Chain A
Amino acid sequence: MVRGNLVGRLLLPGAGSLAVFGLLVGGGLLYASGGGTARDTLVTQMLVNAVLVIGLQIFIGNTGILSFGHMGFAAVAGYTFALLAIAPRFKERSVPDAPFGLADVQLGIAPAMVIAVAVTLALGLIVGLGLIRSGAKSGAIAATMITLALLFVVYEVARNYPDLTNGRVGLTFGPGNSLSDRTWIYVILFVAILSARLFRETETGRLAQAAREDDLAARAMGVNPTYPQLAALLLSVVVIAVGASLRTHVLGSMTPEFFFFGYTLLTLVMLIVGGRNGVTGAVLGVIVITAGNEFTRYLAGGDVSVPGLNWLLQEGLSDIFLGGAMLLFMILRPEGLLGDWEIDFPLRRLLRRLPLPGGAKRASPVPAAARPDPSRLSASEVTVLFGGFRALDGSSIEARADEIVGLIGPNGAGKTTLLNVVTGIVIPAEGRFSLGERVLTGEQPHVIARAGLARTFQNLRLFPALSVRENVSVAALVAARHRSDRVLPDPDELLVAAGLWEQRDRRARELDYGAARALELARAAAAAPAFLLLDEPTSGLGEAESAAMIDHVRATAAAIGAGVLVIDHDLHFITTICDRIYVLDQGRVIAEGTPAEVQADPAVQVAYLGASG
């Protein structure tokens, strides 16, 4: 396990990073060897752009939050770096009145860069806390607007605070500054690629990706996306700040336009064309767009003449290329050329074929039974109002951790609402619920999940782009951190028991429906809950699969020592699997008892089929 982790998390991605780095630099050098300083400069710029694009990838790729503000961070870093690194004799002309005696400061490149990173990181922390406060999640428009506002704040300050920035004219390094030697760039680029690639495989990265795939499902598994997202932001800010310092240095000057809309477009297009969710994709995008951009510049440069098309071949063509690339990719291939594919994936697959130490996984008898949790789940007098509609009307239920309790009732009876209440998704108007001694009413979903309630969803909410194994390991990660007082189930064994071991490396979205249902159950079990809450586990399954689900739910619950609260419409399933059943109708509990008692209850027949009289 440890060794597998080391290989999977460190060595392979490390090798992959090296390969990606090699391709980028090799391609660049090959092009530059064609001769000319222009080519040389272009390659340098491409490498520096790659650093910034990777910085973007770390945040956007892992969190799914679209940021327009990262170039705002870049501008802050660029100005900080320039103010510190430019020789005083040049600053005397541009910013003689700079505050804090900045006009007289001169630092070397490395210290200036470190301070630029620190300053930007501080800003990143403030912005990050703000993003969290706004409830940022994948695709959230408020988060995008906050970052966009940041970009404009920085831009406006840069233009209108000439004492510090010399306004629109900007700051200039003296002559003789250009980097003749790319060693620094290589080192920074490689470290950037490596950290982005490794971050993808870290626990923090995984949790961020889970929230990107399905925020609600992640929270219901006990993931609090806040910290992973903040971590992704801060790491991306560091990379961006380093890249921005580098770019400022390479360009030899800094103006408000350097890191504004145009550059935001360039870097975003690079990120998106290759595939924003992967590091390899991001780097490929840099290469493709740099090449395309250069080609359109060449076309527009006046050296080419195509009869009838010369009106097209002029300045602005490369912007059309960029905007057009963004449009075309969004319409035709929004996931980019490579999606989230990494260059080391084939290696990993190859390695999987070799027998791993510890032997292949067998469908062993399910893991040793954990001690049943003595606590009980109880909800009392829960009322939920949707507008004027009473979805739940003073319902009370109770379940012990050593039993399987069913919740049935006609459509609209309030079953799922009750499950949503006890998982913190819906806040009840009245009533309370508790697990053991702990009252959980009003707690957030991830707090409730960590307290020991894990659920599945009526309409399957897996993390579609994550692999089968990653889906389960996300829950296991949370369990390892927050439920260590219990015997934790081995996620791999859960996969074996669910019959998913062979498919462990497939993406969840590629599974057929029955397998997806099984995976959702395995994921919930991996959270080591005191109770499994299952919302229609047989919905959409055929007769045979439903029948198999009975044993599967039982075995899983027994293996992890959890109680079960299950909603289902298949009465055969419910009556076979449950020790006790509650019947809900119009938001109220109308009957409770063993399956036989409930079935015999005339009130239940009326609720299901209508009055017989």
Chain B
Amino acid sequence: MTEFVQQFVDGLGRGGIYALLALGLALIFGVMHLVNFAHGETITVPAYVAFGISLAVGGNWWLIVPAVIVAAVLVSVATEFVAFRWVRGSSDFTMLLTSFGVHFVVVAVFVMAVSPKAKNFEKPGWIFNTVRVGGVSFEIVDLVTIGVTLATLVLTVSILRKTLFGIAIRAAAEDFDAARLMGVRSNRVIRSAFALAGFLAGVAAVFWLMRTGEAEPGAGLVPLLKGVIAAIIGGLGSLTGAVLGGFALGLAEVYLRAWLPGNLAGLTEGAVFLLIALLFIVRPQGFVTVRRAERV
């Protein structure tokens, strides 16, 4: 039981990171029908920002956290400006490959500008501390992740629900042309979606980097893939689905790891991807269905 609870918290902690990424991906998908494989760069670039700061003034996380979030927002908006703006309305094939192109260019830039090898920076001191609650010990980083993730999600949901800006994004995600007819400006709403997605990814990046403590050119790839997977599990385009998909994926990973016999533990990641492949085979449209009618 104790173990179960620990794993549950661990799973929620991971899942929160995926949920933040998936929510951003779902927002972007909603406004421009793009599955953004360059969304991982909102982790890669901040990773180097964190590394740069540690190098310059030491691992001061009071500085790193805001810098990481700002960097993520800027990166997200910049990718839209540099690349995605020009393929708006193109085929899914073209947009997908465009986002891969962005990913590869960013990777190459860091290979060139820094190094192909991973650079380490100091993790926050309290990262390995644990706290005992009723006989169960939890890692503080998990608890903080869960807390902040939930707070961020609540904040995001209230932005999307309560502010005019958020309502406009949701409207545009549902019917882009109708939103334009209501006076919503397409450039602005798409840029806003990228900015908001960048902010969410920035928060995710903070916790991801606290855990890994390293910057490498491909740093964003694995979290990105998990985010994409979570978003698709959630029915791509459904914001609630994306969040649920993220937590579900996190929990599945943790329990799978615990359940696999010791000598196969190294294959957890492989098994996760295998499960994901099976999932898409069985339920390609995800688990939250989005109303979408094709007119013929």
- Whether the complex brings A and B within 8 Å at their CB atoms is answered yes
Chain A interface residues toward B at CB < 8 A: 64, 66, 130-131, 133-135, 138-146, 148-150, 152-153, 155-157, 159-161, 216, 261, 265, 268, 272, 312, 314-317, 319-320, 322-324, 326-327, 330-331, 334, 386-387, 416, 420, 425, 457-459, 461
Chain A residues within an 8 Å CB radius of B281? 130-131, 133-134, 146
Give the residues from 182 to 200 in chain B that come closer than 8 angstroms, CB to CB, to chain A.
Answer: none
Q: By the criterion CB–CB under 8 Å, are A142 and B280 in contact?
A: yes
Give the residues from 257 to 296 in chain B that come closer than 8 angstroms, CB to CB, to chain A.
Answer: 266-267, 269-270, 273-274, 276-278, 280-282, 284-285, 291, 293-296
Residue of A nearest to B275 (CB): A149
Interface bits B84-117 vs A (CB < 8 Å: 1, else 0): 0011001111111110111111111101110010
Q: By the criterion CB–CB under 8 Å, are A141 and B96 in contact?
A: yes
Chain A residues within an 8 Å CB radius of B236? 141
Complex alpha-carbon distance, A139 and B34, angstroms: 12
Give the residues from 170 to 185 in chain B that come closer than 8 angstroms, CB to CB, to chain A.
Answer: none
Give the residues from 57 to 71 in chain B that come closer than 8 angstroms, CB to CB, to chain A.
Answer: none
Chain B residues within an 8 Å CB radius of A152? 225, 269-270, 273
Chain A residues within an 8 Å CB radius of B278? 130
- What are 20 A-B contacts defined by CB distance under 8 Å? A131-B281, A138-B93, A141-B96, A145-B277, A146-B277, A146-B281, A156-B269, A159-B266, A268-B100, A272-B97, A315-B116, A316-B112, A316-B116, A319-B104, A319-B112, A323-B101, A323-B106, A330-B94, A330-B101, A461-B296
Complex alpha-carbon distance, A265 and B99, angstroms: 12
B229 within 8 A of A: yes
Q: Given A135-B284, A152-B273, does the pair A323, B108 have CB atoms closer than 8 Å? A: yes
B72 within 8 A of A: no
Q: By the criterion CB–CB under 8 Å, are A425 and B104 in contact?
A: no
Residue of B nearest to A426 (CB): B296
B77 within 8 A of A: no
B136 within 8 A of A: no
Chain B residues within an 8 Å CB radius of A142? 232, 280, 284-285
The 10 closest A-B pairs by CB, nearest first: A323-B104, A156-B270, A316-B112, A319-B108, A142-B284, A160-B266, A327-B101, A326-B101, A323-B105, A316-B111
Q: Given A156-B270, A265-B104, A316-B111, does the pair A334, B228 have CB atoms closer than 8 Å? A: no
Q: Which residue, B266, B274, B284, has most C-beta atoms of chain A within 10 A?
A: B284
Residue of B nearest to A139 (CB): B92
Q: By the criterion CB–CB under 8 Å, are B87 and A316 in contact?
A: no
Q: Which residue, A64, A144, A312, has most C-beta atoms of chain B within 10 A?
A: A144
Residue of A nearest to B100 (CB): A326
Chain A residues within an 8 Å CB radius of B93? 64, 66, 138-139, 334
Q: Given A142-B232, A157-B270, A326-B104, does the pair A315, B98 have CB atoms closer than 8 Å? A: no
Chain A residues within an 8 Å CB radius of B107? 319, 323
Q: By the criterion CB–CB under 8 Å, are A145 and B229 in contact?
A: yes
Q: By the criterion CB–CB under 8 Å, are A140 and B91 in contact?
A: no
Chain A residues within an 8 Å CB radius of B291? 387
Residue of B nearest to A158 (CB): B270
Chain A residues within an 8 Å CB radius of B113? 316
Residue of A nearest to B291 (CB): A387
Query: CB within 8 A of B87: which of A143, A216, A330, A416?
Result: A330
Chain B residues within an 8 Å CB radius of A425? 296
Q: Which residue, A141, A155, A159, has most C-beta atoms of chain B within 10 A?
A: A141
Chain B residues within an 8 Å CB radius of A312? 112
Interface bits B239-269 vs A (CB < 8 Å: 1, else 0): 0000000000000000000000000001101
Residue of A nearest to B295 (CB): A459
Interface bits B115-158 vs A (CB < 8 Å: 1, else 0): 01000000000000000000000000000000000000000000
Q: Given A141-B35, A156-B269, does the pair A66, B111 have CB atoms closer than 8 Å? A: no
Q: By the criterion CB–CB under 8 Å, are B273 and A133 in contact?
A: no
Q: By the criterion CB–CB under 8 Å, are B274 and A149 in contact?
A: yes
B83 within 8 A of A: yes
Complex alpha-carbon distance, A420 and B294, angstroms: 12
A383 CB to nearest chain B CB (Å): 18
Known: A149-B274, A331-B86. 18 other contacts (CB 8 A): A66-B93, A134-B281, A142-B284, A145-B232, A146-B277, A146-B280, A149-B280, A152-B273, A161-B266, A265-B100, A319-B104, A319-B108, A324-B101, A326-B97, A327-B98, A330-B95, A331-B87, A461-B296
Chain A residues within an 8 Å CB radius of B282? 133-134
Query: CB within 8 A of A153: which of B92, B228, B277, B284?
Result: B277
Query: CB within 8 A of B105: which of A148, A160, A324, A420?
Result: A324
Q: By the criterion CB–CB under 8 Å, are B267 and A157 in contact?
A: yes
Chain B residues within an 8 Å CB radius of A261? 218, 221
Query: CB within 8 A of A320: which of B86, B98, B105, B116?
Result: B105
Q: By the criterion CB–CB under 8 Å, are A386 and B101 in contact?
A: no
Residue of B nearest to A152 (CB): B273
Complex alpha-carbon distance, A420 and B296, angstroms: 8
B127 CB to nearest chain A CB (Å): 25
Query: CB within 8 A of B277: which of A130, A139, A315, A323?
Result: A130
B146 CB to nearest chain A CB (Å): 27
Query: CB within 8 A of B98: which of A133, A160, A331, A387?
Result: A331
Q: Given A66-B97, A316-B112, does the pair A145, B105 have CB atoms closer than 8 Å? A: no
Residue of B nearest to A154 (CB): B270
Complex alpha-carbon distance, A322 and B108, angstroms: 9
Complex alpha-carbon distance, A326 and B87, angstroms: 13
Chain B residues within an 8 Å CB radius of A386? 293
Query: CB within 8 A of B267: which of A144, A149, A160?
Result: A160
Q: By the criterion CB–CB under 8 Å, are B296 and A156 in contact?
A: no
Residue of B nearest to A133 (CB): B281
Complex alpha-carbon distance, A331 and B107, angstroms: 19
Complex alpha-carbon distance, A272 and B291, angstroms: 33
Q: By the criterion CB–CB under 8 Å, are A149 and B273 in contact?
A: yes
Chain A residues within an 8 Å CB radius of B98? 326-327, 330-331
Complex alpha-carbon distance, A124 and B106, angstroms: 32
Query: CB within 8 A of B284: which of A64, A140, A149, A387?
Result: A140
A7 CB to nearest chain B CB (Å): 33
Complex alpha-carbon distance, A386 and B281, angstroms: 27
Q: Given A130-B281, A160-B266, A326-B101, does the pair A216, B296 have CB atoms closer than 8 Å? A: yes
Complex alpha-carbon distance, A144 and B111, angstroms: 27
Chain B residues within an 8 Å CB radius of A319? 104-105, 107-108, 111-112
Residue of B nearest to A138 (CB): B93
Complex alpha-carbon distance, A155 and B266, angstroms: 12
Q: By the criterion CB–CB under 8 Å, are B92 and A141 in contact?
A: yes
Q: Which residue, B86, B92, B97, B285, has most C-beta atoms of chain A within 10 A?
A: B97
Query: CB within 8 A of B112: which of A138, A315, A387?
Result: A315
Complex alpha-carbon distance, A327 and B218, angstroms: 18
